[in-house]
Structure 1
Amino acid sequence: MSSLTVTGVTRSFGAGTPVLRGVDLHVPSGSFTALLGPSGCGKTTLLRIVAGFDEPDAGTVALGDRVVAGGPGRSVPARRRGIGFVPQEGGLFPHLTVAGNISFGLPRRQRRDGGRVRELLELVGLDAALAGRSPHQLSGGQQQRVAVARALAPAPSLVLLDEPFSSLDAALREETRTAVSAALAATGATAVLVTHDQAEALSMADQVAVMRHGRLVQLTDPRTLYRSPQDLDVATFVGEAVVLDADVRGGTAHCALGAVPVDGGYPDGPARVLLRPEQLRLSTPGSAPGEVVARVDGVDFFGHDARVRLALPTAGTVSARLEGGELPTTGADVAVTVRGTALVFPVAATGVPAPLQPLG
C-alpha cells in the first residue's frame, strides 16, 4: 500500500468558480482518512482528482514517491494508478454475478480461480454462497460490501470510498461500515472516505480532514477534532455544541451557565465559549452550588440516551445530553451545572467570532 500526498491542489469550474483552493493533504500508508464537510465544499472533487477522473488546475498528487497528477505530461491515467474506487451506489455490473463483479479487474487466470472470490467475500463478511447471485438479489448493504470486495481484489495501492453508506438505513449503515472497516484493516489498505456524516468520520477514521469552501481547515485524529476544534464552524459541524457569549476573567468564563473554567491562557475580555451537551448536568434546584435554574423545553428520547432542551433565563435554549434513564419532564425546572472546562474562541470587533486561518 502507498501513502497519498496532495500538495497545493486547486480546481475551478465554469466561469472561474473555485472549488478547491490550494489543498494540502497527507495520508500515511496503511491509514484511514475521512474527508468530512458539507455538500459543495470540494471533497468529492478532490477524490475524483486523486482517482484520476479529473485533473487539477495546479498542484500535485503523489502515491508514495510517484507523482500521478500535476503538470503537463505528468498525469497518469486512472486505470494505471492502482486505485480501488467504491462509488456512492456501489456501481455493480447488473449483468454479472457477484463473483463476476469481484473478479472483473483481475487477470484472466485469477478470474478462473474461485478461491480469491471466496477469500474476498469472507473478508467483507459475506457468505461464499452469494457468489453466484446477481446484484439485484442482494440487499443494499450486501451490494456495498461486494463493491468494496471488487475494489480490494487487485490489491490496490489506495482505496477511495465516495459516501458508500449514505443510501442505507441506520442499522444497516452501522453494520456495513463495521464490516468494511474490518476488511480494510485486515488488508492494511490505505483508504480515503468522503462523507458528510460526522459520526461515520469520527468512528471509522484514523484522521479526519475537515473541508470548508474548498479549503482543508483542520486535519487531526477524531478525538482531537471533537475536543479541540480549529474554530466555531468546525466545532458546530462535528457534533452538537452549546455556544454562549461570555466574559473571561482570570481563567473563568462568566456566561449564562454561570462561572465555567476555560482551557488555556485566554486573555480577559469578551469571548464565546463552547461546551458539549454531555458536559451539562441536571439536578433538583437548590442541590448544587453555582447552579443555574432552567426550564425544560422538551425531551427527545433515543433509547440509549436523550436530548433535553433547556430554556435559560438569559440565553435562549441549549441542549443537554443525558443517559436514557430517569429524565425530567417538559415544563419542569432543573438546576444546570457544567462538568469540565469550556473552549474559548475570540470575538471580533463586530461581535462576530473572529475566523481562524485554515491549514490548507
Structure 2
Amino acid sequence: MSALTVTGLAKSYGRTPVLTGVDLHVPTGTTTALLGPSGCGKTTLLRIVAGFDDPDAGTVELGGRVVSGAGRTVPARRRGIGFVPQEGGLFPHLSVAGNVAFGLPRRLRRDRVRIAGLLALVGLDAALAGRAPHQLSGGQQQRVALARALAPEPSLVLLDEPFSSLDAALREDTRRAVVEALRATGATAVLVTHDQAEALSTADQVAVLRGGTLAQLADPRTLYRDPRDLDVAAFVGEAVVLDGVAAGGRVASELGELVLARPCPDGPVRVLLRPEQLRLTTGPGARVRDVDFYGHDARVELELPSGRRVSARTEGADLPLRGAEVTVTVQGTAVPFPVPPVAPPPVPRAPAAA
C-alpha cells in the first residue's frame, strides 16, 4: 500500500470553481474520510485521485510517484487503485465469484481458495460465491464490491459514499465489516461521506471540505473537541454556542462561569459546548421545550432565560417532562472563539466649500 499526497489541487467546471488549492496527505495504511456537504468538492477530489478527471492545477502523488499534474497523467487503469462506488457497481451477468475475480490476473481467476479468502475477509460466506448480484442484500453487494477492489492488492482504495443507500442497521454492520477488512489488509483508503458519525467512527483522520477548500484535517477526537472554527464545529456534530466575556482563562456565560479549553485573549467570545456536556437537574433555570427519546439516550431541547434554545444529550432514564423547569450545569471545558471587533462606521466628511 502507498501514501497519497495531494498538493495545490484546483478544478473548475466552466466558470464554477469546485476545488481551490486543496492539500491533503493520507499516510500509508490509514483511512481518511472526506467529509462535507453536497457540492463541496468531495467526489470531484476522489475522481481526480482515481484518474477519472484531470485537475486544472496541482499534483497527485501515490507512493511518491506523480500520477496527475506537473505535465504528467497516468491513466486510471495503471494507477493501481481500487474503487468502490455508491451502489457497488457489480456486473449483473457475473456471479459473486466472477465479480471478485474480475480484478485478478487471469491465472488466479479460478482460484477458489483465493476467492473464498477474499469473501471471508469482508465477512461473507464462501457459499455465496455462486450467487448472482441480485440475489444479495444491499450490504452483501457492497462487501462483494470491496472484495473485488481489494483482490488485486491495490496501492489505494477509494470508497464513494458506499453505505448511503443502506438502512441504518445494515449500514452499521457493513461499515464495521469494511473497516475490519481495510485494517486486516493494511490498506490505504479514502472514504467520501456526508455522514458525520460515519466519518468520525470509521477514519483515522477526517478532512472537512467546505466550498472547495480544506477547512480542517485532524483525527476524529481533535476535530470534534477542538474544531478550527464554529462552522466546522456545527458540521461535525450538534453545537451549543453561547456568547460570553473571557477573562483569565474563564468565561462568564448564560450557563455560569466556564473554564476555557485553550488560551484566549480577554474580551468578547463565543464558546462551543457539546450537548452531552449539559447536565440537567430539577430546579429553576431553563424550560424544557421538547424531548426526543432514542432508547439509549435522549435529546432535550431547552429554552434558556434569554430565549436562546440549546440541546442537551442525556441518558434515556429519568427524563424531564415537556414544560418542566430544569437547572443546567456544564461538565468539562468550553472551546472559545474570540469575537473580532466591529469596525466603527466611517465619519462623514463635511461638504466642500462652494
- Report the TM-score when normalising by structure 2: 0.95
Task: Kindly state the Cα deviation for residue 28 of structure 1 after the two structures are TM-superposed.
Answer: 0.6
Q: Corresponding residue for 1:66?
A: 65
Q: Corresponding residue for 1:78?
A: 76
Question: Does 1:45 find its partner at 2:37?
Answer: no
Q: Corresponding residue for 1:224?
A: 222
Question: Does 1:306 find its partner at 2:323?
Answer: no
What SS does the aligned partner of 1:155 have?
A: coil
Output aligned runs, 1:318-357, within 5 Å: 318-350=310-342
Decide which structure has the larger Cα Rg and report it. 2
Output aligned runs, 1:1-360, within 5 Å: 1-14=1-14, 16-72=15-71, 74-285=72-283, 293-350=285-342
Which string of whole-angstrom CA distances, capped at 9 and with x for unpartnered residues, describes residues 17-74 of structure 1? 11000111110111111111111110110000000000001110011111100033x1
How many Å separate the matches in 2 of 1:144 and 1:252?
49
- Report the TM-score when normalising by structure 1: 0.94
2:265–2:338 Cα contact (<8 Å) kept: no
Q: Corresponding residue for 1:289?
A: none
What SS does the aligned partner of 2:34 have?
A: strand
1:256–1:315 Cα contact (<8 Å) kept: no
How many Å separate the matches in 2 of 1:113 and 1:75?
34
How many Å separate the matches in 1 of 2:154 and 2:304?
54
Paired amino acid for 1:298: D
How many Å separate the matches in 1 of 2:336 and 2:64?
41
What SS does the aligned partner of 2:73 have?
A: coil
How many Å separate the matches in 2 of 1:236 and 1:4?
28
Paired amino acid for 1:101: N
Gaps of 5+ in 2: 344-354
How many Å separate the matches in 2 of 1:328 and 1:173?
32
Task: Kindly state the Cα deviation for residue 315 of structure 1 after the two structures are TM-superposed.
Answer: 4.1
How many Å separate the matches in 1 of 2:94 and 2:21?
41
Task: Kindly state the Cα deviation for residue 110 of structure 1 after the two structures are TM-superposed.
Answer: 0.4
Q: Corresponding residue for 1:356?
A: none
How many Å separate the matches in 1 of 2:188 and 2:266?
45
What SS does the aligned partner of 2:109 have?
A: helix
What SS does the aligned partner of 1:322 have?
A: strand
CA RMSD, 1 decimal: 1.1
Task: Kindly state the Cα deviation for residue 77 of structure 1 after the two structures are TM-superposed.
Answer: 0.3
- Give me the identity figure in percent: 74
Gaps of 5+ in 1: 286-291, 352-360
Which string of whole-angstrom CA distances, capped at 9 and with x for unpartnered residues, describes residues 202-250 of structure 1? 0010111111010111111100000000100000000111011112122
Paired amino acid for 2:144: V
Q: Corresponding residue for 2:347?
A: none
Which string of whole-angstrom CA distances, capped at 9 and with x for unpartnered residues, describes residues 288-337 of structure 1? xxxx7101111000011000111101142100000111111101111100
1:244–1:315 Cα contact (<8 Å) kept: no
Q: Corresponding residue for 2:348?
A: none
What SS does the aligned partner of 1:284 have?
A: strand
Task: Kindly state the Cα deviation for residue 105 of structure 1 after the two structures are TM-superposed.
Answer: 1.4
Which string of whole-angstrom CA distances, capped at 9 and with x for unpartnered residues, describes residues 253-292 of structure 1? 122212111122212211111000011001122xxxxxx7
Paired amino acid for 2:178: V
Q: Corresponding residue for 1:357?
A: none
Q: Corresponding residue for 2:351?
A: none
Paired amino acid for 2:44: T
2:267–2:338 Cα contact (<8 Å) kept: no
Task: Kindly state the Cα deviation for residue 350 of structure 1 after the two structures are TM-superposed.
Answer: 4.5
Query: Runs of at least 4 residues of structure 1 off by over 3 A?
Result: none
How many Å separate the matches in 1 of 2:41 and 2:263?
35
How many residue pairs get aligned? The number is: 343
